[in-house]
Structure 1
C-alpha cells in the first residue's frame, strides 16, 4: 500500500453519495495502491438518512473508512442569517478538526492526496500548510464548473445583488448566458453572509492542484475544451481538470425510505407498459411544489394523453412528520384525475427507486429538476430529459443541457416564482414524446448511454483520467517531510 487518499465532503446526502462513489472507484481501479478515508462533519446537518447510508456503505465496503469529526455546533439565529450561510459557517468551524485529522492520518500513513468538495474550500489552506496536494471534487458537470470558475469576475463587477438585477443576463465565455436572478441562492444577495463565502469557494477553485469532475468527456466536450483553453480563469493558470464520471450510486445504495409505499408497485407497473412510452416525473429530495403547481402538472399530464409515472411529495409546510408516504393524493389532485388516468398513469407518494425506474424499458422521458446526479442517472440509462430547474446550479444545468449538450427540452417558467402552467407541461411532454425533434433527442440520449459506459471501460477516457491521477499520487515524495517539494512542483 503506497498511501492514503483522504476525501472531505460537504455532509448533504447527494454530496456524500458522490464522494463515496469516487472512493469506490479509486478502490476498484487502484485499491492495491491506496486506502480511502472519508472525513465526515458531524452536528448541524445530521439526519437519519445520512446515518443509515453511512452504515450501509460501511457494511458493504469496509475498505472505505469514515472518520467522523468531533461535533461542531452553530447558532442559526445569532446572528440571523440564511440556511446557506449557517451551513458555510459550520464547514469553516470544522477547520481545526480537519487539521487534526490530517495530522493523525499522516502519522499512520502517507497522505497522497486530499480531495475536497467545493463547499469544503476553507480546508485548502490547511492542507497546503501540511504540504498535502489538494484537489477539488466538483460533483456537478464540466459546464457548470466552467461557469463557477468564471463567477469571480461577475462578483467583482456587480454593484448590486443579483436578485435585484431583473432583466439582466450574465455572459460567460463559450457558455449559454444566465439570468442574474437565476444565480445559485448563496450568490443572490450581497447582504447575505453566504455571498462572500460563495465568492471565496469559486475563487479557491483555481488554486487547487487539480479538479475532478463527475462527468465524461463525450458528454461535455465543449465545456472541457473551454476550461482547458484558460478562458474561464483569464487572469491565472487553470488547474488540470480530470473527468472521472459518470459516478452513479447503484440502486442498492440510493437513499430512500423503505417504508414508503408504492416503490415496488411502480416497477411492476412499468413492466406492463409499452417500450419507451412512459414519462417519469421526479424532482429530487428538495423538490416540493405548491398545491396549485401540483394541480397544474396533473392538468398538463392528463391533456398530453401520454403515459406517466409521477412522484409527488407534500407541498412545503405539509410534511406531516417526515413525509413517509402520508401524501393525500385525493386532496392534491384535480377532482377525478386519479380515476380518469388510472389506465395510463401512476402517481407514487414521496419516493421511487429512481435508478431502477430510469433503467426500465418502458421509460421514454424524464421530467427532472436537473440535479446533476439525476442527469447522470438519465444519461447512463439513455433517457431524454425535460428540464425543470428549481434551485442551486440547476438553472445553469438546464441551459447547458438544452444549448450545449442538446440533451433536453426546457419548460417555460414564470419569472417571479418559477411556476409552470399545465399547458406548458402538456407542450413539453408532447414535444419530447411525439415530435420529430423529440425523437431525435431520444435517439441521441440512447446513443450517449453507450458513450457513458465506454468512458468507464478499460481504456475509456474517465478510466485513463483516473489512472493519470493515480500515477501522480504514486510518485509524490513523502508528504510528511516538511522539506519535501511543494505539491505544485511535485505534480508537474
Structure 2
C-alpha cells in the first residue's frame, strides 16, 4: 500500500486557511494512505490565524504544520501585492520541500511526496514542484463560477487581446458559458477591473492551467452551469468537493460569549437579523449611521457584528470598536436596547445555527455564503470587495436564494477608494424588510439547497464522489 504525502501551501489568511485545512481533513479521513504537511508562510495579517493553527494542529490526524521563518514587512516600503509576497517565500518553501523529499528517499517506510496543493494566490510555487518532479494541484477556496470567470477572461485576453479593465464603469452585460443569465460588468471582481491587479491575476490564472487538477469549495448542485463549462476539457480537471466548512462548535461559546448566547436564547424563533461583513469588512462612520438608522426604522430585532476599519493603507484586519457612542447616532443604543445587540467579533457558526436567526445581512464572502446555505438562513446581499459582487449576483439572480441591498456596491479592500457613495438607510431598510418577509417559495428553495449541500458530502453524494476521483488521480500521478 503506497503511502502518499501531500504538501499544502495555503495563503495564510484565516478565510483561506480554514477551508484549506478542512479539505485536508477530508482527505486523511477518507484514505489512510494520506498524510498532510502544511507549510505556513508568516506573511499573514490576521491575528486569529495563530490561535486557529494551535487549535487544529492538536486534533488533526496525520497532519502537521511547519512554520516558515517570519518575514517582517518594512513599514517604510510600499505595500506589496500578495503574488509578490509569495514569490519572496520560494527559497524557504524549497528548503522545506527538499527535506521532505530527502526523508522519503532515505526511509522506505516514509510516505512519498505525492504532490503540492497550492492556494489560488500561491501559483509561483509550481516552480518548486517542478524542480522536485512532483505534480501541482490547486485548492480554490472560492466558487466555481469565479474560477470559470478567471479562465474565461484569461483566454479572451490572450487569444483576442481583450483587456478586462475596459469594463470598469461599463453598463455592458456579458454572456458567459458558466452562468445561466447575462453577467453585468458592474459585478465583475475588483481585481479584474484595476490595472495594477489585472495583469498579475491573469498571470496567476495562466499557471492554473499547469496544475494536474483543481479542487473547488463548492458542490455540483449549486453551480451546475459552471460544472458543464469545466467538462469541455479546456482546463485541468475540476473537482467540486464542498461545501468545506469548519462546523466544529466553539467549546467556549457558552462561556466566552455567554451574553450573546443568552440574548439569542431570549429571542423568538427566526426573528433576528444578523449583520456581519467578514473578517475584513468594515465601514466608515457615515455608512455605519445609515445602517443604524435602517435597523431602528425597520423595527426588527438585530445582532450586529460591528468592526472599525484599520488606518488607510494598513493591511491589518478590522478591530472591535472601543467607543460605540462615537460612531453611532446619538441615543441609538438606548433606543434599541430592547430589540438589538451590538457585538464585536463572534463565532459565526454558532450564531447562524441558532434558531432565533431569521436573516443574514452579509458581504457575500464565499465562506459566509456556504454557511448561510448550510443552515438555511437567507441573505440580504451587501458585497464589499474581491469577488463578492459576483457571488451576490449568483445568489440573487442565478439561484434566487438571496435579496439585494446593493449588488454592485464596491469598496477597495485597503485604500477604501472604491464606491465612495453611501448606501442610504432607506435602501438598507428595504433590503432588511425583503429579507425578513421573504416569501414561502424562496424559503422553500433555500431549504432544499441546504439539504443538497449536506447530501453532497454523504457517502452517495456528488462531492464525496469527486473527492474519491481526486484521491485516485493523485495516487495515479505519484512520482
Instruction: Say whether the fold is shared (TM-score over 0.5).
Output: yes
Residue number in structure 1 paired with 2:93: 98
Residue number in structure 1 paired with 2:413: none
Mapped to 1, the partners of 2:213 and 2:318 lie a distance apart of 40
Residue number in structure 2 paired with 1:45: 44
| Equivalence map 1:48-127=2 (5 Å) | 48-61=47-60, 63-72=62-71, 75=74, 78=77, 80=78, 83=79, 85-109=80-104, 110-127=112-129
| Equivalence map 1:54-453=2 (5 Å) | 54-61=53-60, 63-72=62-71, 75=74, 78=77, 80=78, 83=79, 85-109=80-104, 110-156=112-158, 157-159=161-163, 161-162=165-166, 165-175=169-179, 176-178=181-183, 180=185, 182-190=187-195, 192=196, 194-229=197-232, 237-252=234-249, 263-317=257-311, 325-348=320-343, 350-412=344-406, 416-417=419-420, 419-436=422-439, 439-453=440-454
How far apart are 1:250 and its partner, in Å? 2.8
Mapped to 1, the partners of 2:205 and 2:465 lie a distance apart of 27
CA distance change for structure 1 residues 199 and 359 in 2, over 3 Å: closer, same or farther?
Answer: same
Mapped to 1, the partners of 2:404 and 2:199 lie a distance apart of 31
Root mean square deviation of aligned Cα: 2.8
- Cα deviations across residues 402-438 of structure 1 (Å, max 9, x unaligned)? 12222111212667336321111111111122143xx
CA distance change for structure 1 residues 196 and 74 in 2, over 3 Å: closer, same or farther?
Answer: farther
How far apart are 1:336 and its partner, in Å? 2.6
Mapped to 2, the partners of 1:322 and 1:287 lie a distance apart of 8
How far apart are 1:337 and its partner, in Å? 2.3
Residue number in structure 2 paired with 1:33: 33
SS of the residue aligned with 1:68? strand
Q: TM-score, normalised by structure 1?
A: 0.85
Residue number in structure 1 paired with 2:5: 4
How far apart are 1:447 and its partner, in Å? 2.1
Per mean C-alpha deviation after superposition, the further-off stretch among 351-360 and 141-150 is 141-150
Check if 1:21 corresponds to 2:22: yes
How far apart are 1:292 and its partner, in Å? 1.0
Q: TM-score, normalised by structure 2?
A: 0.87
How far apart are 1:72 and its partner, in Å? 4.1
Mapped to 2, the partners of 1:62 and 1:414 lie a distance apart of 42
Mapped to 2, the partners of 1:419 and 1:173 lie a distance apart of 34
Mapped to 1, the partners of 2:323 and 2:183 lie a distance apart of 37
SS of the residue aligned with 2:38? strand
Residue number in structure 2 paired with 1:488: none
Mapped to 1, the partners of 2:464 and 2:164 lie a distance apart of 44
Number of equivalent positions: 456
Contact 1:72–1:90 (Cα < 8 Å) also in 2: no
SS of the residue aligned with 1:172? coil
CA distance change for structure 1 residues 219 and 292 in 2, over 3 Å: closer, same or farther?
Answer: same
How far apart are 1:374 and its partner, in Å? 0.6
Contact 1:291–1:315 (Cα < 8 Å) also in 2: no
How far apart are 1:280 and its partner, in Å? 0.8
Contact 2:307–2:321 (Cα < 8 Å) also in 1: no
Mapped to 1, the partners of 2:321 and 2:292 lie a distance apart of 19
CA distance change for structure 1 residues 116 and 344 in 2, over 3 Å: closer, same or farther?
Answer: same
SS of the residue aligned with 1:60? coil
CA distance change for structure 1 residues 74 and 329 in 2, over 3 Å: closer, same or farther?
Answer: closer
- Cα deviations across residues 19-61 of structure 1 (Å, max 9, x unaligned)? 111111111111x11111011112x435532222212212222
Mapped to 2, the partners of 1:86 and 1:107 lie a distance apart of 33
CA distance change for structure 1 residues 165 and 35 in 2, over 3 Å: closer, same or farther?
Answer: same
